[in-house]
Every structure is written in C-alpha cells, then in structure tokens.
C-alpha cells in the first residue's frame, strides 16, 4: 500500500513573518465570540515574544512547561483546562516553541474534538474527528515536528505518537528570527536530531526518491550550518538560522515518506526509562552506532568537536537489570525503525544481547 501523505495546507517563511500571525488569525475569528488558544513554551514568559503575541481580549494563553517531554497526562490536563475556559471550541490553536510545545499544541487540537484520554489514541489512525485548526510557530529547529503527522507522547504504557492526518498542522509560520536566541548546546542537540533524521532516512532500506530529494537537501543544509560555521560566528548566524529552519522542515519531510532508524529506536528506550530528552538522547545513541552509520558518525563527531560539545557518558552504568530489560524491550518494539536500518532480517542482527551491548556503550 502506498502512503497517501497529508501535507500542511499553508506555510509562511521569512525573517519577521511572525508579525503576520494576527492577519492569519483574523480569518479564523468569524464572529464576536471567536477565541484563540495560544500554547506557548514558558521559557518565553516575560520576554519580547510574549509582548508580540497577537492576543485579543477573549483569547486564552496557556503557558506550557517542557522540562519533561510531553506526557499524555499533561495533554489531558491542558484539554480539561481549555474545555473549562469557554463553552465553545477555540477557532484556532497556536503552538509556539520547540518540538515539545508543537506536539502539545497538536495533541490539544486533537483531544478537544475527540472523546476520552489522549493515551487511548497513541498509535496509528485512531483519531476519528477532525482536530481544531492549529498553527505551528517553531522557536527551535531540528525535530521536524512542524511538518510531521505525529505528536510524540509518553503514556502510562508506552512512548508513542498519535499518528493521524488530523495531527498535521494547518498552517506553519517559519520565522528564523525566533530561533536566534536558543542556547548553543540546545541548538546543537536539536539540530543533530535533523542531521540524524537525514542519515537514517538516506541510508535506510525504505529510501525512495521522495525521501531522498528532501533528505539530501536537508543534509547539505545541516553541513553548511554545523560544519562551516563555528558557534561564535555571529555575522553568519542569521544565514545559518534560515538554513537550519529549512533543514528541519525538509528533514521532517524526508522521514515522513521513509522512516528513522537504529538511533531513534535506541533513543526511545533511553527516553522511556531515563527521561533523556530527544535531541541529546539521539546524540548519545548515534555516537554508539559507528558500526551501522560509519560515515555519519564520523561527521557527527567532527561537528561535536567544532561546537565544543561533550556528551554525557556512562548514563546506563548503574542501571538495574529491570530497567535495562525495559529499555531493550521499548527499543526492539519499534520494528519498522529496525527494518529500515537493517532490512527484513533485522531480528537476527539486532538481538537483545546486541542492543544491550549498544546501551552499555552509552
């Protein structure tokens, strides 16, 4: 079966284009009772961005905290809060932040129109009703969450996305000025998420010309951002921000029609058991995968050196047997990722013992 890929309806790109958000929302404010829910990373509380929000009197401002990556319980709390705010549904939801905040905005837009708990919908195409119109405004680039058809959530039993056509944003606003002040280490980790998406997609067995077209361009942009520029070359920073924002978008498009691979499978294990965040978790896992992605890992290490990044080490050293087993089972449960990396025979290559050896190296 061929995938019938749902794309975002509208995309805006350019430095300063965030100022047009009010115009976009105006078209959704059909009557005097219309209101908008802004889902904003609380890192922006008290900043210029807060003052720039096109906030109208009836609107709701939901500050979200992403110290922990999104959990289904948090999504359910936000949904209840939004339901209690007004008797009507919002005309639009605007998610402003990195991958975690964009995922929370996606999940909220789905859960406002679908009954029950968000963990009921972790999986593929379980969502029945169309979501509330939702807009992404990324302030951190690399995850590709702005283009994907999933919202990654940690639930009581699993870390798994709500994958559906209704998850896809209706509008994306790509304003590279908004990623200018991201701390350099965070920028690197989330940027590497994109780099790894490209490597895993391009070297995977699921590769096709659709994914290759996006993946090759995204990879070139990542190299321009992270190999040609050091961390403190400010004059080049604006160009690099433009490139990184498009790399994230294209990297996301690439994996949408192929798949990620071994690194993401292992990083999901780290995240589930240790709470390791996605970007840094992917970097830690990728560094252990020289055997599978030799060229990519070599280049990744070059980028780490250039940007003075020291990865945490020995993070699985004192882990209990029970946690190690859980981590292995979460990771090996992601069959399509392993199949993409290693082919149909993956179970004979990526045994429990092999996965354990890899985790022990991290």
Q: Which residues bind ligand NAD (CB under 6 A)?
A: 41, 43, 66, 69-70, 97-101, 103, 139-140, 142-145, 148, 150-152, 178-179, 181-182, 186, 190, 277-279
269 binds, among ligand NAD, Zn ion, none (CB under 5 to 8 A by kind): none
CA dist., res. 66 & res. 169, Å (int):
20
Question: What does 98 bind: Zn ion, ligand NAD, none (CB cut-off 5 to 8 Å by kind)?
Answer: ligand NAD
Question: Which residue, 70 or 90, has its beta carbon nearer to Zn ion?
Answer: 70
Per DSSP, helices labelled H in 47-123 are 48-52, 72-85, 99-111
**Which strand (E) or helix (H) includes residue 288?**
none
Note every long-range contact of 51-56, with CB atoms under 8 Å and residues 24 or more positions apart, other chains counting. Answer: 52/18, 52/19, 53/96, 54/21, 54/22, 54/25, 56/29
Size of the site for Zn ion (CB under 5 A): 1
Q: Least distance (Å) from ligand NAD to the CB of residue 153?
A: 8
What is the closest distance, in whole angstroms, from the C-beta atom of residue 348 to ligand NAD in the complex? 29
User: Given its phi and psi angles, is residue 50 left (phi above 0), alpha (psi -120 to 50 degrees) or beta?
Assistant: alpha
Closest separation in Å from C-beta 251 to ligand NAD: 10
The item of Zn ion, ligand NAD, none sharing an interface with residue 299, based on CB under 5 to 8 Å by kind, is none
Q: What is the DSSP letter of 70?
A: P
Q: Which does 119 bind (CB under 5 to 8 A by kind): Zn ion, ligand NAD, none?
A: none
Does residue 299 interact with Zn ion by CB under 5 A? no
Q: Which helix (H) or strand (E) holds 36?
A: strand 36-41
Q: Rounded to 5 degrees, what angle do the CA atoms 150, 213, 225 make?
A: 80
> What is the smallest separation between the CB atom of 191 and ligand NAD, expressed in angstroms?
9
Judged by CB, which is closer to ligand NAD: 59, or 103?
103
Q: Is 146 in the site for Zn ion (CB under 5 A)?
A: no
Q: Which residue is nearest to Zn ion (CB)?
A: 193
Shortest distance in whole angstroms from residue 101 CB to ligand NAD: 5
Contact 265, 349 (CB under 8 A): no
Residue 331's binding partner among Zn ion, ligand NAD, none (Cβ under 5 to 8 angstroms by kind) is none
- The single residue among 69, 103, 146, 193 that binds Zn ion, judged by CB under 5 A, is 193
Minimal distance in Å, beta carbon 107 to ligand NAD? 10
Residue 184's SS3 state is: helix
> Sign of dihedral through CA atoms 153, 154, 156, 157?
positive
* Residue 35 vs 69, nearer CB to ligand NAD: 69
At 86, phi and psi to the nearest 5? Answer: -150, 160
Q: What are phi and psi for residue 114, nearest 5 degrees?
A: -125, 130
Q: Which does 190 bind (CB under 5 to 8 A by kind): ligand NAD, Zn ion, none?
A: ligand NAD
> In angstroms, how far is the first alpha carbon of the chain from the final one?
37
Contacted by 179, from Zn ion, ligand NAD, none: CB < 5 to 8 Å by type: ligand NAD
Which residues of this protein are in contact with Zn ion, per CB under 5 A?
Answer: 193
């Amino acid at each position: 079966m061929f995938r019938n890929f749902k794309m975002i309806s509208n995309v805006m790109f350019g430095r300063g284009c965030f100022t047009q958000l009010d115009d976009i929302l105006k078209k959704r404010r059909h009557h005097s009772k219309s209101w908008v829910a802004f889902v904003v990373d609380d890192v922006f509380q008290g900043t210029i961005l807060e003052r720039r929000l096109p906030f109208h009197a009836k609107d709701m401002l939901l500050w979200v905290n992403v110290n922990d990556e999104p959990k289904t319980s948090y999504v359910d709390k936000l949904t209840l809060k939004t339901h209690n705010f007004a008797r009507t549904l919002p005309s639009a939801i605007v998610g402003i932040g990195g991958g975690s905040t964009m995922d929370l905005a996606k999940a909220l837009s789905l859960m406002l129109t679908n009954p029950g708990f968000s963990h009921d919908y972790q999986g593929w195409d379980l969502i029945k009703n169309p979501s509330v119109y939702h807009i992404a405004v990324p302030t951190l680039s690399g995850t590709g969450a702005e283009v994907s058809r999933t919202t990654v959530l940690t639930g009581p039993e699993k870390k798994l996305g709500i994958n559906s056509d209704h998850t896809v944003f209706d509008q994306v606003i790509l304003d590279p000025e908004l990623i200018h002040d991201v701390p350099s280490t965070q920028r690197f980790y989330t940027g590497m998420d994109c780099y790894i998406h490209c490597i895993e997609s391009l070297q995977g067995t699921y590769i096709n010309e659709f994914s290759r077209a996006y993946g090759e361009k995204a990879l070139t942009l990542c190299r321009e951002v992270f190999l040609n520029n050091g961390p403190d070359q400010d004059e080049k920073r604006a160009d690099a921000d433009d490139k990184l924002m498009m790399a994230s978008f294209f990297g996301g498009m690439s994996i949408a029609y192929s798949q990620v691979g071994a690194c993401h499978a292992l990083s999901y294990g780290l995240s589930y058991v240790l709470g390791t965040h996605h970007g840094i978790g992917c970097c830690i896992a990728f560094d252990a995968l020289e055997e599978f992605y030799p060229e990519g890992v070599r280049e990744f290490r070059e980028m780490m050196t250039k940007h003075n990044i020291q990865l945490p080490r020995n993070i699985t050293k004192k882990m209990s047997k029970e946690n190690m087993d859980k981590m292995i089972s979460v990771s090996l449960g992601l069959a399509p990722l392993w199949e993409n990396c290693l082919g149909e025979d993956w179970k004979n290559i990526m045994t429990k013992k092999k996965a354990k050896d890899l985790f022990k190296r991290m």
